[in-house]
Structure 1
Amino acid sequence: MRRYAIIAPACLFAFSTVAVAAEADPIIVTARGRAEAEIRVPDTIAVYGPAAIAARRLTTIDDFIAATPGIFIINDQDPGTNLISVRGVSTNRNQSPSIAYIVDGLALADSELFTLRPYDVARVEILKGPQGALFGRSASGGAIAMATNDPGPDWGGEAAVGIGNGLTWTADGVVNAPVSDQVQLRLAGSYRNSDGFIRNTFLDKKVDGSISRNLRLKAKVALAEGSTLKFRLGWANEEGGAAYISSGNVTGLYGGKLSGKALTNPFGDFEGRASRTWWGAQATWEQEMGDALMLTWTGGYDDYHKDFVEELDFRNDTPVTLFGVALFPNGIQPIAQPVDIKAWTSEARLTSRGEGPLRWHVGLFFQRLERDRTDDFGPLLFGGEALRAETRSSQIGVFAQASYDIAPQVEVTGALRYDSDRRREDTVGAASSTIVAQRARTFEKWQPKLSLAWRPSDRITAYVTGAIGFKAGGFNPLPGAADVWQAVFPAETTRSVEAGVKGQSADGRVRLSIAGFVTDYQNFQNTVFLGNSVVLSVPQVDVHGIEASAQAALGAGFSVDGGLAWTHSRTGRYLTPNPTPEPGEPAVLDMSGQRTPNAPDWTVNGGIGWQGAAGPAMVDARLSVAYVSRVDFEIDNILHSPGYASVDGRAGMSHGAWTFDIWAKNLLDKRWAISAFGQQQLPLLLGLGPNGPFDSFTINSGRQYGASARVRF
C-alpha cells in the first residue's frame, strides 16, 4: 500500500499542466474519441498546435518527445530503429512498441514507421499512462496522436526554404486547392538534405549525412449533406549514413560513464548506410446519422522497405580478433538487416453526438501486419546461411467508452477493450527458404479504464483514473538444451492509477495542474545478446512518479512555461543468467532494484518567450532549456550517460505574408551518448580485440543552427 500512497502527496504538492500549446482558449483535444476541451479530460496530455510547433521548431518526432517531460526516445543505428519510454514503460529492440502512434485517426502498425518525417502538422497529442482501452495493444505506456492538415475551402498555400550548418538545407511547401464546392485538395511536401555533423576520424568524413523526401496528397469530398469522404496518399524516401558508432573500453577506463574523454568520435573503417521507402494510402468516411449519431470508417495500407548495412567491430584494427583468435582479417563487415513491412488497418466507430449527460462510442478494429527481417551477420556466420524472420500478426479489437454526468459537477467515464493478437513467426533460410523454426501464439487481453472527474467550475478538473494496458509477447530463437531463454516470451501488462487536478485562471493566462501516478509493470521484455538477440522477461517493475509544469502569460508580450517529470522505475526481484560469465563470476546475477533501461528519473523543460511589434513587423522569440538525468542503456546499469542539459532558441519576424527566422538547437554544443551497448551484456564486445574489450556507443550530433524564410500565398 505504501507505493500507492504517493498519489496523495503528488496531488497536494505538485502542479502540472501538460497543455503546452499557446493557441486559443480552450485547447481542444480528441484524446477520448471526440473533440473537447483538454482541461475536461481526466488524463495527462501534452498538446502541440501550430503556434507551439513553430515557436519550438518541432520538426521530428524526437523534437516533440524531447519537449515533453516523462517521455524519452532513443533513435539510433538506422532511421527506423527507435526505443520510446513513457513513465518508465519502455520499448525494447526488435519488439512491439510500448506506445501507440496514431496518424489521422489510424494506428501505425510498426515502430519502423514512427520516425517518418512529420510535416504540415495540425496538432500532436501525447497521452501518458496506459491507453489500451481506446488504442489497444502496444498502448501500454501511452499514445501519440498526430493530425495533419485537411484540405480547406480557400485557394492558397505557403512555401519555405532554410539553410543550416552541416550544409543542411530544407524546402517545404503546401498548396490548398478547392476544385469545387464539393471537392477540396491539399498537396504538401518536405525535403531535407544534410552533409551531417559527426565525423569519422579514420575515414575523415562526416558519416551522418542524409536526404529526406516526402509528399502527401489529401482530398476531401462532400458526398451529401452530413456525408464526407477523405483520402490520403503519402510517400517518403530517405537515405544516408547509419550506425556511426564509436568504440572504446568505457567500462574499464571510466566505470561505464559516457562523458568527457570517453565520448570519442567514431573511427571504424566501414561506413554504415541505410535507405528506406514508404508509401501509404488511407480512406475515411464520415456519415452523420441525424443529430444523435456519427458513423466513421477509416482504412489504410502501408508498404515499407529498409536496407541497412553496417560493421560490428566499429574499429579499424585488422585483423579483428575474438577472444585472442584472429578470425576476421578484414573486420566484422558487412552486416545487413533489411526489413519489409506490409500492413492493412481498418477501424469502424459509432459515436454519439451532442453534449448531453451521456456521451459514448463503440468500435471495431482490425490490423494485419506482415514483417520480414533478415539477419545477415556476414563474417559471424562463418559460411552459414543468413536467416529471415517472417512475422505475421492479425489483431482484432472491440471497444466501447461512455461518459456520464452523474451530477452537474461530476463525470464518470468507463471504457473497455478486448484485443486478440494472433502471431506467427517462421524463421527460414534467407536464400534457400528452408524452415528453421515455426512458432505461433495468440496474445489477448481485456483492457478496462475507469475515470472519475469533479469539475467545481469550468476552470478546474480534479480526477482519478485507473487503466490497464498490454503489449503482445513474441518469439525468441529456438533454445538449445543449455540455453536459458524460452521460445515464446509473454506479453507485458501495465496497471496504473493516476490522480490529478487541472486548473486555469479566468482569463486563461495561467494554466496549472497536478498529477501523480503508480504503475504495476509486469513481464518487462528486456533484450539481451546471448549469441542471439533474445528477450528475458523481468517479472516485476515498480514505477511511480510525479509530473509538474506550468504556463503563464506575464504581460508586455512575455510568457513562461516549464515542466518536470520524476519517474522512479526499478526492477523488482530479478535473477538473470550472466550474459558474459568469466572464471570466478556467478552464473546468475541479481538485478533486483536496477533502473530500467532508457528511462531517466528526471526530465525537465522550461522556456521564456516574447511576442510583440517591432515597427511594422511582428517578432516572436523563445529561449528554452531541457534537462535529462542519468540514462542507463542496459539493465546492469553499468554503461550510462550522466545527466545533461540542452539550450534551444528561435527568433522569428513576420511582415505581411513573409516570415523569417533564425534558430539554434543545443546552442552550447553539449555532447552526450544517445545509445550504447556494453561489454558486460554482449559477449562479442567482451572478446573483441586487439586491445579489447570494448563498449560501443553513439554520440549526439552537437550544435545545429540555421535560418529560414516562409511566404504565404
Structure 2
Amino acid sequence: MRRYAIISFTCLSTLPFAFSNVARAAEGSEADRILVTARGREEAEIGVPDTVTVYGPAAIAARKMATIDDFIAATPGIFIINDQDPGTNVISVRGVSTNRSQSPSIAYIVDGLALADSELFTLRTYDVARVEILKGPQGALFGRSASGGAIAVATNEPGPDWGGEAAVGIGNGFTWTADGVVNAPLSDRVQVRLAGSYRNGEGFIRNSFLDKKVDGQISRNLRLKATMALSETATLKLRASWADEEGGAAYISSGNVTGLYGGRLAGEALTDPFGDFEGRSDRNYWGIQATYEQLLGDALSLSWTGGYDEYHKDFVEELDFRNDTPITLGGIPLFPDGIQPISQPVDILAWTSELRLTSMTDGPLRWHVGLFFQRLERDRTDDFGPLLFGAEALRAETRSNQIGVFAQASYDIAPTIELTAALRYDRDRRKEDTVGTASDALVAQRVQTFDKWQPKISLAWRPNANLTAYVTGAVGFKAGGFNPLPGPADVWEAVFPSETTKSVEVGVKAQSSDGRLRGSIAGFVTDYSNFQNTVFLGNSVVLSVSQVDVHGLEASGDVALGAGFRVDGGIAWTHSRTGRYLTPNPTPEPGEPAIVDMSGKRTPNAPDWTVNGGIGWQGTAGPALVDARLSVAYVSRVDFEIDNILHTPGYTSVDGRVGVTQGAWTFDIWAKNLFDKRWAISAFGQQQLPLLLGLGPNGPFDSFTINTGRQFGASAAVKF
C-alpha cells in the first residue's frame, strides 16, 4: 500500500507544473492532435488514460524502423530478446515477460486483428501508417496475452489517388534493400494498394571456425489491400499478405563466462561464435483478412473482421556450439561428431474473428461491445538428434480455442471528468497431444481450460484539451500451458497455471496549445502472480514463480526549440523482483542443496532502466529540405535467467540519419549503433542448463548471442 501512495503522490505532485506549462504556452491555433485507437475508437492520444507511445510515418522514416525490434528499442519500459532464430522472441513490458514457446505477454494487433502466436511478431513491418505501444495490462480490450501491454500496427490503406513510391538501399554487410508501393483507384468505389519489401544481407557476425558470416538473411514480403464501398453506409476491406525468409540462425558463442567472468557478458567474454555447424532458419507465412463495416444510422457502427494465418518454420542448429570432437558429457565421449543436427520445425494455423458494435456519437456516453474467437493449431517438433540416443523425436500438437466477450463505456460524469469502465471474459480451452514423429504413437495427452474476467476502470480529469490527469486500474492474464509429461523424479508439473497481472497507474499528460511542448509522467504498481519462468531441464519446461513485485516510474517529453530543432526523450524505471521463491536446483552438484532460494531476484530480460533521447532538425539547403536526427538509447543491466548470474551490463547505443528531399526524390544516409558497441542479446547459463554444465572437453560452458555491431547505409526513394 505504501508503494501505491508514494508513486501516486510523485505523479500527482507534477500536476501544477504540467498545468503551468500549458497556461504559459503562447496563444495560437490548436496543435495537431496525435490520434490513436487504443480504446477502440479514434481519439487524441493526450486524452487516453494510459501510457501510449505512438510512431507515425515521419518518426518511422527518421529512425529507419523496419522491425518490431526497432520500435521496441526506441520505447522506454519495453524490451525484446531475439533468441536462436528469427521467430523466437521474448518481450518484457514493465517487468511482465514472455516465456519461450508459450503464449506471449503482449497482444500484437495488425490492422485491427490480433496475431495468434509470437512467432508472427517478428515478420518485417513495411508501408506502415502508425504503430501504437500500450504499456500495462490491456486485457479488457485485447484479451488473453495482453497482460503486459499491446502493440497495434496499422498499415496504409488504399487511397483515391494514383501514385506510389519506390526505394532502394545499400548498407554494410553487403545488405541490399528494395521497397515499393503502388496505389491504384480502380473506380470511385474500389481502391487497391500493393506494397512490397525485399532485404538481402550477408550478415555481420563472423564464425571464426567456419570463417564466414553466419547471420545473413533474405526477406521477401508482399501485401495487397483493397477497399470497396458497397453502399453509402457499407465498406468491405480485404488484405492478403505473404512473407518468405531464409538465413542464418543460432549463431551462438560459447565460453565459461560464469567461471572466468562471474557471468558478466562484456569485454573479453564476448567472443565470436566458433562452432562447427552453421545454424539455419527458413520460414514462410501467408494470411488473408476481411473487414466489413456498416453504419447503422447516425449513432451506431457495426464491424466484423476475420482472418486466416498460415506459418511454417524450419530450424536447425547444433547444441554444443563448439568445434571440439568428440564432445563429452560428464567426461564420457558420447558425441564423436558433436551434438548436431538439432531440428525444431514449427507449423501454425490460426483463424481469428471479431464482431463489434460501437456508438458513434460524441455525447457524454461512448461505448462498444464485442465478441472474439480465435482457433490456434500449433505443432512443434523437438528433434534433439544425438541427444535422443536413438529414441523417437516427439511432436507437440497444441490446439487452442479462445472465446472472448467484452464491453467498454466512457461517461462524462462532469464537463471535465470522464469515467471509463471495461470488462472482458476470456475462455481458452487448450488440448495438447504429444506424439512420436515416426510412429504417430500417442505419448501424452492433456486438456485444460483457462479463463479469466478482466476488468479495467479509469478516471480522467481534463480541464482543457491540453491536459489530462488520470488513474487507471486493470487486470490482465496469460493462459497457462503444458510441460513435457514429468517422470517420477521430475520437479515440474504437467500443467502450469495462468499468469495474472493487477496494476494501478497514475499519470499526467500535458502539451502547450501550439504543440511546441509535450510531456507526460506515470507511476505504476503491478501485482504479478504465477510468472511463467522457462528453464531447460532436459527440455524446455515452465516453473511458476508465485509472486513478482513490480513498480516503477516513466516520463517522456518533446519540445520544439526553434530554428527547426526539436528534442525528445523518455525514461523508464522498472523495479521487478521475485517474491519468496524456493525452487529445485536445476544443476545440483555434490554438497549443494536440492532447493535453492531465488527470492528477491531480478526477473529475466527486464532491465531496471531504459532511456531514450534524440534531437532532430528540419530546414532547407537551397531548394532541398533537410531532415536530420541523432538518437541515443541506454539499457541498464539485463539478467538472462532467474538466478541473475549470466548478465550483460548496461550499454549505450547511438543512431543517426540525414535525409535530403528535393522534389519527388529523397536521399538519406544512416547509421545504427554508430560507435560499434557490443553486448549480448540472449544467453543460457551453465547453472540453469544441466547440458552446458556437463559438456566438455574443457567445460563447463555458457552459451550466448552477441549483437550485430554497427550498421550503416544509404538509400534513395522517389514518389510518383
Q: TM-score, normalised by structure 2?
A: 0.98
**How far did 1:506 drift?**
1.5
1:535 matched to 2:539? The reply is no
Letter of the 1:476 counterpart: N
Alignment of 1:433-512 (within 5 A): 433-512=440-519
2:189 paired with 1:176: no
Measured against aligned partners, the alpha-carbon deviations of 1:196-235 in whole angstroms (never above 9, x if no partner) come to 0000000000000000000000000000001100000000
User: Where does structure 2 lack aligned partners over 5 or more consecutive residues?
Assistant: 19-29
Write the letter of the residue equivalent to 1:32. Answer: R
Q: Map 1:286-301 onto structure 2 (within 5 A).
A: 286-301=293-308
Q: Structure 1 residue 350 and structure 2 residue 349: aligned?
A: no
Deviations 1:104-160 (A, max 9, x none): 000000000000000000000000000000000000000000000000000000000
Matching of residue 563 in structure 1 with residue 576 in structure 2: no
Q: 2:101 aligns with which of 94, 102, 123?
A: 94
1:5 and 1:588 mapped to 2: Cα distance?
36
What is aligned with 2:26?
none
Say yes or no: does 1:264 pair with 2:276. no
Q: Paired residue for 1:105?
A: 112
The offset of 1:43, in angstroms, is: 0.2
Of 240, 255, 261, the residue aligned with 1:248 is 255
Q: Look up the match of 1:20.
A: none
- 2 CA distance for matches of 1:44 and 1:382? 51
| Counterpart for residue 429 of structure 1 | 436
1-structure distance, mates of 2:180, 2:539 = 45
Any residues of structure 2 matched to 1:199-238 within 5 Å, and which? 199-238=206-245
Distance 1:24 1:351 in 2: 28
Aligned equivalents of 1:405, 1:569: Cα separation in 2: 36
Aligned to 2:520: 513
Measure the CA separation in 1 of the matches of 2:14 and 2:629: 25
Amino acid aligned to 2:202: D
- Check the 8 A contact 1:6/1:517 in 2, yes or no: no
- Residue 83 of structure 1, aligned match among 90, 98, 119: 90
Is the aligned partner of 1:32 residue 2:39?
A: yes
Which SS does the other structure have where 1:64 is aligned? helix
Conserved in 2, the CA contact under 8 Å of 1:343 and 1:368?
Answer: yes
1:9 Cα deviation (Å)? 3.7
- 2 CA distance for matches of 1:3 and 1:474? 32
1:412/1:451 contact within 8 Å kept: yes
> What residue identity is the alignment partner of 1:405?
D
Cross-structure match for 2:27? none
Instruction: Find the counterpart in structure 1 of residue 25 from structure 2.
Output: none
Tell me which of 374, 381, 385 is aligned to 2:381.
Answer: 374
Partner of 2:558: 551
Alignment of 1:330-345 (within 5 A): 330-345=337-352
Measured in 1, the distance between the counterparts of 2:128 and 2:618 equals 22
Letter in 1 for 2:210: L
Q: Quote the residue 1:305 is aligned against.
A: 312
Match for 2:160 among 153, 171, 195? Answer: 153
Distance 2:693 2:262 in 1: 15
The question of whether the paired residues in 2 share the 8 Å contact of 1:98 and 1:139 is answered with yes
Once residues 497 and 431 of structure 1 are traced to their aligned partners in structure 2, the CA distance between those partners, rounded to angstroms, is 51
> How far apart in 1 are the matches of 2:4 and 2:160?
52
Contact 1:526–1:537 at 8 Å: present in 2 too?
yes
- The partner residue of 1:400 within 386, 396, 407 is 407
Q: Supply the AA of the counterpart residue of 1:40.
A: G
1:463-484 alpha-carbon deviations (Å, 9 max, x no partner): 0000000000000111111111
Quote the Cα distance in structure 2 between the aligned partners of 1:627 and 1:434: 51
Q: Structure 1 CA distance, aligned partners of 2:318 and 2:537?
A: 19
Moved over 6 A (4+): 13-17
2:71 alignment partner, SS class: helix
- Residue identity matched to 1:418: Y
Percent identity over the alignment is 83
Deviations 1:252-276 (A, max 9, x none): 0000000000000000000000000
Give me the whole-angstrom Cα distance separating, in 2, the residues matched to 1:539 and 1:14.
35
Letter of the 1:702 counterpart:
G
Aligned pairs, how many? 708
Q: 2:387 & 2:10 partners in 1: Cα distance? A: 51
- What is the alpha-carbon distance in structure 2 between the residues aligned to residue 242 and residue 354 of structure 1? 51
1:522-671 residue pairs with structure 2 within 5 A?
Answer: 522-671=529-678
**1:413 maps onto 2:423 in alignment:** no
Q: Does the 8 Å contact 1:6/1:516 carry over to 2? A: no
Alpha-carbon separation, structure 2, partners of 1:81 and 1:589: 29
Q: Report the Cα offset of residue 24 of structure 1.
A: 7.0
Q: CA deviation at 1:250?
A: 0.0
Residue deviations 1:164-190, cap 9 Å, x none? 000001000000000000110000000
Following superposition of structure 1 onto structure 2, how do residues 318-333 of structure 1 map, counting pairs within 5 Å? 318-333=325-340
Q: Which moved more, 1:561-570 or 1:52-61?
A: 52-61
Cα distance in structure 1, aligned partners of 2:13 and 2:652: 25
CA deviation after TM superposition for structure 1 residue 10, in Å: 3.2
Distance 1:355 1:472, change over 3 A: same
User: In the TM superposition, what is the alpha-carbon distance from 1:295 to its structure 2 partner?
Assistant: 0.2
Relative to the length of structure 1, the TM-score reads 0.99
Tell me by how many angstroms 1:7 deviates: 2.1
| Cα separation, 2, equivalents of 1:413 and 1:51 | 32
CA distance in 1, matches of 2:180, 2:324: 47
Distance 1:354 1:56 in 2: 37
Q: RMSD between aligned alpha carbons?
A: 1.1
Q: Which amino acid aligns with 2:625?
A: M
Is 1:44 the counterpart of 2:22? The answer is: no
* Superposed displacement of residue 12, structure 1: 4.4
Cα distance in 2 for residues equivalent to 1:514 and 1:76: 32
Letter in 2 for 1:215: L
Residue 203 of structure 2: which of 171, 179, 196 is its match? Answer: 196
The 5-angstrom pairing of residues 275-294 of structure 1 reads 275-294=282-301
Deviates more, 1:358-367 or 1:53-62: 53-62
Q: Deviations over 1:320-363 (max 9, x none)?
A: 00010000000000000000000000000000002110000000
- 1:5 is displaced (CA, Å) by 2.1
SS state of the match for residue 230, structure 2? strand
In 2: Cα distance, 1:622 partner to 1:14 partner: 29
Shift of residue 567 of structure 1? Answer: 0.1
| Alignment check: 8 A CA contact 1:109 1:369 kept | yes
- Partner residue of 2:368? 361
1:111-122 alignment to 2 at 5 Å? Answer: 111-122=118-129
Give, in angstroms, the shift of residue 57 of structure 1: 1.1
Give the letter aligned to residue 225 of structure 2. K
